[in-house]
Structure 1
Amino acid sequence: MKEIKKYDINLVKLGNKSHSYEFELDNRFFELFEQELILGGNLKAEVVLHKSELLLQFDFHIKGTVRLTCDRSLEEFEHPLEVEQTLLLRYGPEDLELDVNVLQVTPDTQYINIAQHLYDYIGLAVPMKKLAPRFLEEDQEREDDPEAEGLLIYSTGSDEDDEDGNDDDDEDGPVDPRFAALKKLK
């Protein structure tokens, strides 16, 4: 609990100007969240807060590496990340999430904890397909190889079926020859 307090920003003591903060995001940071996506990391977060009478704008710049599990080999690997995000906080009568990056807080809010926002921005930057660098190189080589592309041929049936005089075929597609023989019994 004490560890997450490091990411609190005191809004009351701040003047209406820009304020800069730096955070080191290491394995202890990722242990604060119950998740299995990111095994650990070594990142540096620079947060610039622009405060005015009605609005707080947080500009996040996060850079470093995260430790992930490869989807193909299940081995751990380091993946570089760089994230640029903006979070807007406005004052209003109640605490609300107005949009993905727009929050409303009451004027008497003293602290804002940005740990969850930092984690969310990092998590969104992790690729859907987590591949170790050696597999990324193999996939890139396959994409660049012109002979690796195949030709897909699709056929719905032969033209001979239409010439049989069976115009009462189902509109769903070609009829199995066993059922075509049964249709002739009518």
Structure 2
Amino acid sequence: MKSLRTYAIPFTGLKLGKHEFDYVITDAFFDEFEYSLVKKANLQCKVELEKQETMLILNFHITGDIQLTCDKCLADYPQQVDIKEQQIAKFSDEPVDEDEEVIALTKNDHEINIAGLIYEYINVAAPFIATCGNEGNTPYCDKDMLDRLTKLSAGDEQPEQQIDPRWDALKNIK
């Protein structure tokens, strides 16, 4: 988790107004998270922090590609992402309701770590069903795997149906 210290923004020394931070997110970032959907990535993250008297407004813009596995042909392929999100952090001594999507910062806090937010935004942006594109038409698609799946799903190898002669005897009963 030491490498995630890079994503801690010390806000106490910042003047009121907007400040920009740039991060490069690679495989090492996702290695810090044990059960991540995304393991490989090449992303650029721009964070615009607007410091106000009572709150921080964080605007995230994450672009680049993440490496996913196609659910159809099991080939690895790059998925383009363009993520724009906003997070608000309020300075408050009182706990904030869990229903609100606001981070509470106390007087003792002097920095905000955005690694968890970046991680969530990227994983949520990954498609629920990952496909590498038009079947067999992209350079990443595994055509051999698609052919095998088609062959198995078409039922080319159906065993001959043999009917037990005892059932035929039951058809004659009326």
Same fold (TM over 0.5): yes
Report the Cα offset of residue 8 of structure 1: 0.4
Once the two structures are superposed, what CA deviation does each residue of 1:12-31 show, in whole Å capped at 9, x if it has no partner?
11111111000000010111
Partner of 1:8: 8
Contact 1:95 1:103 in 2 (8 A): no
Q: CA contact under 8 A between 2:27 and 2:40: conserved in structure 1?
A: yes
Give the direction of change, closer, same or farther, for the CA distance of 1:74–1:43 in structure 2 (3 Å limit).
same
Gaps of 5+ in 1: 139-186
Task: Summarize the Cα distance change of 1:35–1:135 in structure 2 as closer, same or farther, 3 Å threshold.
Answer: farther
Letter of the structure 2 residue corresponding to residue 127 of structure 1: P
Q: Secondary structure at the match of 1:135?
A: coil
| Counterpart amino acid of residue 18 in structure 1 | K
Quick check: 1:33 aligned with 2:29? no
Deviation at 1:129, TM superposition (A): 0.7
CA distance in 2, matches of 1:21, 1:97: 29
- Alpha carbons 1:97, 1:103 under 8 Å: kept: no
Q: State how far apart, in whole Å, the 2-side matches of 1:97 and 1:115 are.
A: 22
Q: Relative contact order: is structure 1 or structure 2 higher (C-alpha 8 Å, sep ≥ 6)?
A: 2
Residue in structure 2 matched with residue 74 of structure 1 by the alignment: 74
Q: Distance in 1 between matches of 2:64 and 2:102?
A: 26
Q: Which segments of 5 or more consecutive residues in structure 2 lack a partner in the other structure?
A: 139-174
Q: How many residues of Structure 1 are paired with residues of Structure 2 in the alignment?
A: 138
Q: Distance in 2 between matches of 1:81 and 1:102?
A: 25
> RMSD across aligned C-alpha pairs, in angstroms?
2.0
Alignment of 1:33-72 (within 5 A): 33-72=33-72
TM-score by length of 2: 0.73
2:105 is aligned to: 105
**1:77 to 1:98, Cα distance in 2 relative to 1, 3 A:** same
